[in-house]
Chain A
Amino acid sequence: MKRKNIRLLPPIALDERQRQQMYQIEHRGFWFAYFGILALLLLEILTNASGILIGCTTILLLALSIYTECCCIRRGLWDWRLKPNPKSNALMSMIGAVCIFVFTLLVYTKNGYFVNSPALMYLCALIAAFFTFILTFALLSVTAHICNKRKARLDEACEDDEEE
């Protein structure tokens, strides 16, 4: 019997050179995160200030995200599998919104908010998810536009080389 090949993820959209560039970015990002986490750990041991650590970890995560985004855009890369188009941006925003919806519900349940009115709890989680979707989609659209422009500029540079 012939087995049906079910593909859960889209195929890798990068060629070999682009993959090497992506590996390089991720490699640097890994060491950046490694030493960042090490520094935070040492900070916690030395100062016993666990309250500041959440903020520091968030800053580290944001710095890592910004670094990865900037490096990828500089090279005209977007993602391993996705292309910078509205469809994939909407899909990713939707996944983010669902995660926030579930997370918000978990936080509310854990902290005992809206115990008497579950409908209000769901409504609040839905509002949080909606705004997450809007913000994520807007941010992804802007960065995808910048990435496409950068890619076009790199292709233009190829044209100049070709004419030489």
Chain B
Amino acid sequence: MKNLRLKAARAGKDLSQQALAELVGVSRQTINAIEKGDYNPTFVCALPFAKHWIKLWTIYFGRYDL
């Protein structure tokens, strides 16, 4: 199940996957895997997203229709 909320949040900040990857210090493939719902990062890995104003719940629950 795709994490469309994260994709929308990223688009809202006008960031490409590569730009976001560089900001949070992960690879572009990791961002893509999170958006595709293939990878669920740990809290430590997800924290830098919050530093760049992407709410953590979009990472963990963005793929669910809450």
A16 to B34, CA, bound (A): 12
- The answer to whether residues A15 and B17 also contact, given A161-B35, A161-B36, A162-B32 and a CB cut-off of 8 A, is no
Q: Is the CB of A17 within 8 A of B17?
A: no
Q: Is the CB of A161 within 8 A of B32?
A: yes
Interface size class of B (residues with CB under 8 A): 10 to 19
- A18 within 8 Å of B (CB atoms): yes
The residue that A16 contacts in the complex, of B17, B28, B32, B41, with Cβ under 8 A, is: B41
A155 to B33, CA, bound (A): 11
A161 to B2, CA, bound (A): 11
- The answer to whether residues A15 and B28 also contact, given A162-B16, A162-B17 and a CB cut-off of 8 A, is no
The residue that B30 contacts in the complex, of A18, A157, A161, A162, with Cβ under 8 A, is: A18
Chain A neighbourhood of B66, CB < 8 A: none
- A158 within 8 Å of B (CB atoms): yes
A51 to B60, CA, bound (A): 57
Chain A neighbourhood of B44, CB < 8 A: 16
- The answer to whether residues A15 and B27 also contact, given A162-B16, A162-B17 and a CB cut-off of 8 A, is yes
Q: Is the CB of B42 within 8 A of A158?
A: no
- B8 within 8 Å of A (CB atoms): no
Q: Is the CB of B32 within 8 A of A15?
A: no
Q: Is the CB of B16 within 8 A of A15?
A: no
Q: Is the CB of B36 within 8 A of A17?
A: no
- B50 within 8 Å of A (CB atoms): no
Q: Is the CB of A158 within 8 A of B26?
A: no
A154 to B35, CA, bound (A): 15
- B39 within 8 Å of A (CB atoms): yes
Q: Which 3 A-B pairs have the closest CB atoms?
A: A15-B26, A158-B32, A16-B45
Seen from chain A, the residues whose Cβ lies within 8 Å of a Cβ on chain B are: 15-18, 76, 154-155, 157-158, 161-162
